[in-house]
Amino acid sequence: MRILLVEDNEDLGEAIEKRLRSAGHSVEWVRDGNDVLPAAEAEPYDAVALDLMLPNRDGISLIAELRRHKFNAPILVITARSEIDDKVSLLDLGADDYLVKPFDLRELEARLRALLRRTGGQASSTVMVGNLELDLAGLNASIAGKALELGRREFRLLEILVAHAGKVVAKERLMNQLFNFDENVSVNALELHISRLRKKLEAANVEIGTVRGVGYVVRVSEQPG
């Protein structure tokens, strides 16, 4: 996922950023309320983790403004217990879920994954294409029941392609979602991950096709490899 993190507390923000990045997500961390809307309009995001108490702007007004600007990504509110007296209003304004401090970072990541599944119309954390199965919650994959050894980025790359099985995913989109904002990456890095992934999928009856000049597509093939 490409996540916009809005949190002014340095310790909490750093912990969240580290957790999400270690799970393979791309994170843009914003600390000031005035910077939220420009950041949201500058890049496409899959989800937002938003603290309500921010310098210069409160989170509730930001939710309403983001929705007025047709920002459609799910918003997970991070809040102190005293700030959620009116939970209905929070959700009515456009928030999708909320998490009360203090919280386990694993729950934060799980909530974000659940929001993405919900907005994508997917109820389960398990996805199957052909004989390839991905467990999005457990971050593991298998071919015909046999575990597949994947690196963190390889899994994320496969997850994105499988989520759009049969459709071409642009190289630019893959790079945006795979690599962090502060990483200097090239198309070669993406192509290297694709090459490694293809070798590991040789026993699967799915293939990663190349659409020259555009991107890649996962298709079910008749034979493994």
- Among 170, 203, 200, which residue's Cα sits nearest to residue 187? 170
- Among 19, 29, 9, 13, which residue's Cα sits nearest to residue 181? 29
- Range 93-113 average pLDDT: 86
Higher pLDDT, 19 or 120: 19
For the domain bounded by 126-220, which CATH number is listed? 1.10.10.10
124-128, 186-190, 191-195: segment of lowest average pLDDT:
124-128
Q: Do domains 2-119 and 126-220 have the same CATH topology?
A: no
Where are the chain's structural domains? 2-119, 126-220
Convert the pLDDT of each residue in 20-76 to its tens digit. Answer: 988 878 899 999 999 999 999 888 888 999 998 899 998 888 998 998 888 888 999
Q: What's the pLDDT at 125?
A: 63
Convert the pLDDT of each residue in 133-183 to its tens digit. Answer: 988 767 789 999 899 998 878 888 888 888 888 889 888 888 877 766 556
What percentage of the chain reaches a pLDDT higher than 70?
Answer: 86
Burial class of residue 102 (count of CB atoms within 10 Å of its CB; 0-12, 13-18, 19+) = exposed
Q: What's the pLDDT at 190?
A: 87
Q: How far is CA 217 from CA 49, 115, 201, in A?
A: 30, 24, 14
Average pLDDT, the chain: 84
Q: How far is Cα 139 from Cα 5, in angstroms, rounded to an integer? A: 22
Q: What's the pLDDT at 123?
A: 45
CATH class of 2-119: alpha beta
Q: How confident is the model at residue 86 (pLDDT cuts 50, 70, 90)?
A: low
